Structure 1
Amino acid sequence: MLTVHPQIITDTVGKKLVVLPLEEFNAMLEELEDLEDVRLYDEAKREDDGQSISLEDYLKQREARKNG
């Protein structure tokens, strides 16, 4: 689990801001990207219709369409 150490500051107009060390911010971004990858994987699995071909066959078909 990610541990963060936020600091709450108030700017000159009274708006509250959160400040994080850069390393923690970057770690949060990585975690969010990983979660997005999991979400996209889960979505793709739900939409899987069971039909698939190998990459090699796909490339052959694509080349045939390109040349045909």
Structure 2
Amino acid sequence: MTTQFITDKNGKRTAVILPLAEYQQLQEDLHDLAIIAERRDEPTVPFADVVARLHRRVSSATSCP
């Protein structure tokens, strides 16, 4: 199904009909953006620190006797 538009008598688009999957994806994107906005002022972790932590986890998981 393609996106469809409802128009008024002058041909101006007044509404849209979306496939359900596309609507659900838009809802998820909106939710993600709201979470990002809420967390904007939280402290961040540098990428290099995250990589180092992951390497330590992998090393400790694979070095078990």
Report the TM range for the smaller structure's normalisation. Answer: 0.3 to 0.5
TM-score normalized by the length of structure 2: 0.45
TM-score normalized by the length of structure 1: 0.44
